[in-house]
């Protein structure tokens, strides 16, 4: 047996990078809280049927990309490939539709897809997602988009583009699908193998072809086939985004790969990422709750990929977030005070202060150097003054120090550190 390695398409996050992740996750939680979204945590795996019905049999996700397995009792299970279907399942299972509407949920969680791994595309990736149930108006679409945009801005992603489209509703989409088929029928022999299949199953996805993009440019546009309600919804959303100063590009070829979307679809992308340029996206899915067995419930959601966000930050040259520096370095003059230093450090930590000490028995000069390098705000120096119940407190920024009665240390630090 060879050396054990992580599965292909997965990553390990080591402590330095983990601090970036934590920062990103903190930002996501802060932004979600500002918009009134509560955190939802669903299981890593669900019954496969949920995704078959919720995501759609004809999608790449369900057809090719799911991690599906039988458990020991032979039940068909799947590692969650996306977050919306599980959120809808939880919404229904806990009867959240019976409470005050809308119901606003967010999640920070991994999703699993068996895709060909490349930079920015992993078999386990992490999503910050938000779902809003029970609001049919464009204000909810605008809210979800604003939340995603806010997250990227707060995270420090400088330049990204919002693409927006409406793919219509059950009233107007059949006519649009017919128009698309009519346009593509003579081109059928020229299309790629995937598109040959899509032509019959879901012609909207022909617009999404990555193999030959030329055909899509001349294809009938959704905007020309929307019913009055869909057109008004889109116009309402555009007015709201303008009011929120969120710029966007209308993209008539944007359809997204999931079957459940109605009306609004959007995608956020970074010009700094290569072939995997999408940072996130989402859309409205007014039919999904009913499809999964609930009362008809309008809903809209979106998500941002955390790996892609980190890549965009890196590519944009954003300064790496630093690990929070210690507030206090506890130094000791000579071996005999080292024990005392551990005691003082312990006391400060109990009070919630971030403290480091020197475990190597270095000289005071070396310890002060170390404290400065670590970015400590204060250095506490323990030496012969202790016999008088006094220690030395050095303000590292100001470069000044004074004697402080041992009993007053915490008060002094608390005042300075706040
Ligand atoms: Zn419509
Ligand atoms: Zn194609």
Ligand nearest to the CA of residue 208, numbered in listed order: 2
Q: Is the dihedral of CA 161, 269, 203, 49 positive or negative?
A: negative
Q: How far apart are CA 244 and CA 236, in angstroms?
A: 12
Ligand nearest to the CA of residue 198, numbered in listed order: 2
How many whole angstroms from 254 Cα to the centroid of ligand 1? 16
| Contacting residues for 375 by C-beta, under 8 A, at least 6 apart | 322, 325, 326
H or E stretch including 317? Answer: none
Question: How crowded is residue 243: how many other Cβ atoms within 10 Å of its Cβ?
Answer: 9
How many whole angstroms from 222 Cα to the centroid of ligand 1? 10
Question: How crowded is residue 352: how many other Cβ atoms within 10 Å of its Cβ?
Answer: 9
- Per DSSP, the residues of 61-123 read IIIII--EEE-TT--EEEE-S-SHHHHHHHHHHTTGGGSSSSEEEEEEEEEE-----BTTB-S
For all residues of the chain together, what is the average pLDDT? 92
Residues in the chain: 418
The pLDDT tens digits of the residues spanning 252-304 come to 889 876 778 899 999 999 998 887 889 999 999 999 999 999 999 999 999 99
Give the per-residue pLDDT at 1. Answer: 58
How many whole angstroms from 192 Cα to the centroid of ligand 2? 4
How many whole angstroms from 237 Cα to the centroid of ligand 1? 15
The pLDDT tens digits of the residues spanning 324-334 come to 789 999 999 98
Ligand nearest to the CA of residue 190, numbered in listed order: 2
Give the per-residue pLDDT at 325. Answer: 85
pTM: 0.84
Least confident interval from 61-70, 146-155, 208-217, 340-349: 208-217
Nearest of 71, 172, 190, 90 to residue 131 by alpha carbon:
90
Q: Can you read off the two tokens belonging to residue 355?
A: 């403290």
Q: How far apart are CA 207 and CA 247, in angstroms?
A: 23
Q: Is the dihedral of CA 169, 174, 179, 180 positive or negative?
A: positive
How many whole angstroms from 45 Cα to the centroid of ligand 2? 31
How many whole angstroms from 117 Cα to the centroid of ligand 2? 20
Give the per-residue pLDDT at 69. Answer: 97
Nearest of 2, 17, 284 to residue 134 by alpha carbon:
284
Give the per-residue pLDDT at 418. Answer: 36
15-172+226-315: CATH superfamily = Bira Bifunctional Protein; Domain 2 (3.30.930.10)
pLDDT above 90: percentage of residues in the chain: 75
Q: How far apart are CA 142 and CA 264, in angstroms?
A: 10
The pLDDT tens digits of the residues spanning 255-268 come to 876 778 899 999 99
How many whole angstroms from 259 Cα to the centroid of ligand 2? 17
- Listed by start position, the domains of the chain span 15-172+226-315, 328-413
Give the per-residue pLDDT at 320. Answer: 66
H or E stretch including 127? Answer: strand 124-133
Nearest of 45, 263, 305 to residue 135 by alpha carbon:
263
Q: Is the dihedral of CA 355, 358, 364, 367 positive or negative?
A: negative
The pLDDT tens digits of the residues spanning 158-186 come to 889 999 999 999 999 999 999 999 999 99
pLDDT confidence band for 322 (50 / 70 / 90): low
Q: Is pLDDT at 116 greater than 80 in this prediction?
A: yes
Mean of pLDDT values over 60-79: 95
328-413: CATH superfamily = Anticodon-binding domain (3.40.50.800)
Give the per-residue pLDDT at 336. Answer: 87
The C-alpha angle with vertex 314 and arms to 311 and 315, in degrees rounded to 5, equals 85
Give the per-residue pLDDT at 27. Answer: 94
Q: Is the dihedral of CA 151, 153, 158, 164 positive or negative?
A: positive
Give the per-residue pLDDT at 256. Answer: 79
How many whole angstroms from 197 Cα to the centroid of ligand 2? 9
Q: Can you read off the two tokens belonging to residue 394?
A: 């050095």
Ligand nearest to the CA of residue 205, numbered in listed order: 2
Q: Can you read off the two tokens belonging to residue 326?
A: 């210690």
- Residues having C-beta closer than 5 Å to ion ligand 2: 192, 195, 209, 211
Ligand nearest to the CA of residue 194, numbered in listed order: 2
The pLDDT tens digits of the residues spanning 117-154 come to 988 899 999 999 999 999 999 999 999 999 999 999 99
How many whole angstroms from 212 Cα to the centroid of ligand 2? 6
pLDDT confidence band for 321 (50 / 70 / 90): low
């Amino acid at each position: 047996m060879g050396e054990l390695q992580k599965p292909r398409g997965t990553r390990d996050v080591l402590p330095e990078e983990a601090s970036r992740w934590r920062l990103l996750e903190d930002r996501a939680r802060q932004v979600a809280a500002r918009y009134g979204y509560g955190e939802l945590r669903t299981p890593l795996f669900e019954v496969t049927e949920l995704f078959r019905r919720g995501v759609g049999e004809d999608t790449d996700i369900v057809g090719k990309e799911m991690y599906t397995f039988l458990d020991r009792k032979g039940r068909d299970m799947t590692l969650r490939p996306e977050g919306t279907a599980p959120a809808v399942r939880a919404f229904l299972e806990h009867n959240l539709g019976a409470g005050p509407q809308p119901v606003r949920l967010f999640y920070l969680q991994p999703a699993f897809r068996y895709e060909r791994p490349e930079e920015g595309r992993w078999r386990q990736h992490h999503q910050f997602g938000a779902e809003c149930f029970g609001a049919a108006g464009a204000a909810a679409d605008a809210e979800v988009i604003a939340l995603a945009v806010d997250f990227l801005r707060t995270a420090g992603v400088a330049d990204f583009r919002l693409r927006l489209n409406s793919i219509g509703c059950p009233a107007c989409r059949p006519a649009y699908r017919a128009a698309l088929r009519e346009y593509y029928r003579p081109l059928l022999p020229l299309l790629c193998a995937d598109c040959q299949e899509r032509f019959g199953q879901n012609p909207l996805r022909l617009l999404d072809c990555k193999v030959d993009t030329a055909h899509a440019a001349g294809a009938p546009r959704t905007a020309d086939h929307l019913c009055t309600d869909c057109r008004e919804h889109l116009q309402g959303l555009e007015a709201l985004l303008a009011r929120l100063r969120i710029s966007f590009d209308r993209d008539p070829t944007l359809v997204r790969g999931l079957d459940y979307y109605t009306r609004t679809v959007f995608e956020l992308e970074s010009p700094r990422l290569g072939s995997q340029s999408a940072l996130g996206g989402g859309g409205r899915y007014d039919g999904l709750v009913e499809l999964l067995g609930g009362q008809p419930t309008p809903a809209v959601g979106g998500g941002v990929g955390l790996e892609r966000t980190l890549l965009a930050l890196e590519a944009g040259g954003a300064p790496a977030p630093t690990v929070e520096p210690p507030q206090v370095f506890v130094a000791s003059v000579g071996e005999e005070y080292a024990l005392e230093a551990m005691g003082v450090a312990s006391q400060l930590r109990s009070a919630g202060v971030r403290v480091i000490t020197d475990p190597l028995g270095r000289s005071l000069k070396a310890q002060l150097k170390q404290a400065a390098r670590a970015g400590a705000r204060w250095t506490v120096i323990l030496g012969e003054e202790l016999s008088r119940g006094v220690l030395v407190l050095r303000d590292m920024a100001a470069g000044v120090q004074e004697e402080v009665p041992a009993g007053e240390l915490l008060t002094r630090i608390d005042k300075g550190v706040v």
